[in-house]
Structure 1
Amino acid sequence: MERLLGIGGYFVRAADPAALTTWYRECLGLDAEGAEPWQQEAGATIFAPFASDTDYFGRMEQQVMLNFRVRDLDAMLAQLRDRGAAVSAETQEMEGIGRFGWVTDPEGNRIELWEATA
């Protein structure tokens, strides 16, 4: 059986694609403009379907949620707050998995940030 090798891309609709690209670059450090792909660090990727009525993604209209791995969750959340981003006050820890925090991008998409357990 053929198997997937990994995530090849993530595509999102935006009212202002240029502004959203700038936000991801300036707030999260994601340099993924143009034809040059973003080279990620190797690490775990979780694929998990959720119930259709979950409120975990924020808005009910949001059908998927992007989860980014981060080295230092507290530092990333502070960086986002310093840039005026809509950061959730809540964080969560799952034993053996890591710590989680959330930010909402300028288009209203909730994003999960994950500091994996070492």
Structure 2
Amino acid sequence: MSTYSVNTQLQPKGSTGVVDWKRHANGTAVWERTLWKKLEVGDIVLLHDNEQVPADIVVLATSDPDGMCYLETKNLDGETNLKPRKSVKATMGISSEEDLERSSFYLDSEPSHQNLYLYHGVLRYEDPV
């Protein structure tokens, strides 16, 4: 497993590319547009309804109060039915840019592999209380 820090560069996806969340030297963070191909391991991606997922992801939070979302994998396995996914319990309370900026967490993750239905990782999260 590898450890990746995700509190230095955060990236949400826009409809024509990816919006990049950059932390500047003065400690503030801003959204900047970038391309999918520039996503790196450890980036955070914001997805909206009916947008394609540009990379392998771990669901940190959703707009659903129970942390649920539904993914279609037809581009990967040909299946058109929606697959339920639930956000990580520790991070499901992140609901704003401010919450995200105050958060600090690390993901110990297995490398990418072909199995779409199996994933092992450990998220270490420090509550910003």
TM norm structure 1: 0.27
TM norm structure 2: 0.26
Normalized per residue, the structure richer in helix is 1
Normalized per residue, the structure richer in strand is 2
